[in-house]
Structure 1
Amino acid sequence: MRIYISVDMEGVTGLVDAEDVQPGGRDYERGRAMMAEDVNAAVRGALTAGACDILVNDAHGPMRNLYPEHLHPAARLVRGRPKRMGMLEGLTGEYDAALCVGYHSRAGALGVLSHSFMGHEIEDMWLDGRPVGEIGLAHATAAALGVPVAALTGDDAACAEMTDWDASVATVPVKYAHDRFAAELRPEAESRKAIEETVTNSLSSLPPSPPAPATLSTLTVRWQSASVAAILPGIPGVTTTDSRTVRATGRLPDLYRQFGVWMRVAASLTNQPPYC
């Protein structure tokens, strides 16, 4: 069994603030250690379920948060950027399941460190008219590759978002949001045990691989800055629906990859910290 793990940071056990997850933050080094412990719990759970090949993609911010020497030796690591598929770099249809570790809820949700990909620069996103963030877009892209998402870990808001998107995905709440930068924390040992056990159980009873969608998908993004929406239609297939909103239609995962280009364009036009 081959398992793919995409690990973000905002939804990791014990982390609640930008200082925990941003390079240079006063608690960032502690956050990196906590991130490694959560992903290692998922790796142990996958091994218990019979995984023989595990690929971990460091999917947060600079994408070099995990120290390779802190990662479980049974897992391989994709580290650094740029990556053509960003948070899903390395995922192919050859994997039997995907795991989302340390994920967070979408922009506008009252979840810990909630946002969609680019802090407050992205105000809203929709996939085929359905509100979406990192969770839903990762799930839809994995499904397009024929890979089921077996489990997700994060705060209770992220877990609820995943359940709303696909109730068959097992979830592990590692903290309970009181606000965007405050949460009731689950004890570390309890959290890691829950991650490990949930991953084992979810991989031991995998659903059938999802059929690849036969139809095209439409991704719509509303930006904070009108300048981003003004520039992006220079990319073939991108159109505007108003002064701050663009959309494009295509097949996943190609559309996911194109969205990565949109973000690089937006980053070149704006220079905003992600958690203002």
Structure 2
Amino acid sequence: MRIYISADMEGITGLVDAADVQPDGRDYERGRLMMAEDVNAAVRGAVAAGATDILVNDAHGPMRNIPPEALDPRARMVRGRPKPMGMLEGLTAEHDAMVCVGYHSRAGVLGVLSHSFMGHEIEDIWLDGRPVGEIGFAHATAAWLGVPVVALTGDDAACAEMSAWAGGVRTVAVKQARDRFAAELRPPAEARRDIEETVATGLSAVPKARAATAGSATLAVRWQSASVAAVLLGIPGVTATDSRTVRAQGELPALYRQFGVWTRVASSLANQRPYC
């Protein structure tokens, strides 16, 4: 059984602030180890369920967060950037299941460190007219490939977002959001035990035969800056719905990859740090 793990950082056990998840933050080094331990719990669960090949994608920020020596040696890791598929680099139709570790809620939701890919530069995203963030976009892309998402970990807001997007995904709330930079934390050992057990249970119920999603999708993004939208109109196939909102159509995961180009263009123009 081949398992893919996409690991973000904002939804990791114990982390609540930008200083926990940004490389120059005073608690970032501790945050890196906390991230590794949540991912290792998911790896243990996958192994318990019979996984023979586990690929972890370090999907947060610089994508060099998990110290290689801290990762369970039964897993391989994709590390660094740029990556053509960003948070989903390495995911293929040959994977039997996907697990999302440390994910967070989308922009505008009162969840811990909530945002959509780019701090506050992205105000809203819609996929086929449905509001979406990193959780739904990842799930939809995996579904297009025929890979089921079997588990997600994060705060309670992230878990609620996953359940609303796709009700069959098991979730583990490692903390309860009190505000955007505050949470009630679960004891790390308890949270990681829950992650391990939930991943193992989810993988034991993976269907033998899975169907990929056919057809194209429509992606729309509303930016904080009209200048970002204006520049993106230079990309073939990108159209405007208003001065700050652009849209494009295509098949997933190609549309997911194109969105990565949009965010790189936006980063070069806005140069804004997340969570400010």
Which TM bucket (shorter chain)? over 0.9
Partners of 2:211 and 2:226 in 1: CA distance: 37
Equivalent runs, 1:5-154 vs 2, <5 Å: 5-154=5-154
Aligned residues: 276
- Structure 1 position 207, deviation (Å): 3.6
Which is worse superposed, 199-208 or 90-99?
Answer: 199-208
Separation of aligned partners in 1, 2:206 and 2:44: 17
Equivalent AA in structure 2 for residue 126 of structure 1: W
Aligned to 1:204: 204
Summarize deviations over 1:145-187 as a string: whole Å, max 9, x none.
Answer: 1100010000000000000001100000000000000000010
Distance in 1 between residues matched to 2:124 and 2:170, nearest whole Å = 26
Deviation at 1:216, TM superposition (A): 1.1
Contact 1:143–1:210 (CA under 8 A) maintained in structure 2: no
Which residue is 1:272 aligned to? 272
**Separation (CA, whole Å) in 2 of partners of 1:27 and 1:2:** 34
Deviation at 1:256, TM superposition (A): 0.2
- Measure, in 1, the Cα distance between the counterparts of 2:57 and 2:111: 23
Deviations along 1:104-132, one digit per CA (max 9) or x if unpaired, are 00000000000000000000000000000
**Amino acid across the alignment from 2:11:** G
CA distance in 1, matches of 2:207, 2:220: 29
* Identity across matched positions, percent: 78
Deviation at 1:254, TM superposition (A): 0.3
Aligned letter for 1:110? L
CA contact (8 A) 1:146 1:209 kept: no
CA deviations on 1:208-230 (whole Å, 9 max, x unpaired) are 55522222100000000000000
Q: Which amino acid aligns with 1:19?
A: A
Instruction: Show the counterpart of 1:251.
Output: 251
SS in 2 for 1:150: strand
Q: 1:137 & 1:189 partners in 2: Cα distance?
A: 30
**Length-normalised TM-score, structure 2:** 0.99
Tell me the distance in 2 between the aligned counterparts of 1:213 and 1:75. Answer: 28
Matched AA of 1:93? A
Q: Give the counterpart letter for 1:104 in structure 2.
A: H
Q: Secondary structure at 2:5's aligned position in 1?
A: strand
Structure 1: gaps spanning 5 or more residues: none
Return the alpha-carbon distance in structure 2 between the equivalents of residues 77 and 214 of structure 1.
29
Is the alpha carbon distance of 1:165 and 1:207 closer, same or farther for their aligned partners in structure 2, counting shifts above 3 Å? farther
Aligned-partner residue type, residue 75 of structure 2: A
TM superposition score normalised by structure 1: 0.99
5+ unaligned residues in a row in structure 2: which ranges?
A: none
- Which amino acid in structure 2 is aligned with residue 76 of structure 1? R
8 Å CA contact 2:145, 2:213 repeated in 1 = no
What CA distance in whole angstroms lies between the structure 1 residues aligned with 2:158 and 2:209?
23
Q: Find the counterpart in structure 2 of residue 233 from structure 1.
A: 233
Separation in 2, partners of 1:207, 1:189: 30
> Equivalents in 2 of 1:235, 1:17: separation in Å?
35
Report the Cα distance in structure 1 between the residues aligned to 2:69 and 2:209, rounded to whole angstroms.
Answer: 33
Q: Does 1:168 align with 2:168?
A: yes
- The alpha-carbon deviation at position 19 of structure 1 amounts to 0.2
Task: Determine the structure 2 residue equivalent to 1:177.
Answer: 177
Q: 1:140 to 1:209 in 2, by over 3 A?
A: farther
- For the 8 Å contact 2:224–2:244, the answer to whether it is kept is yes
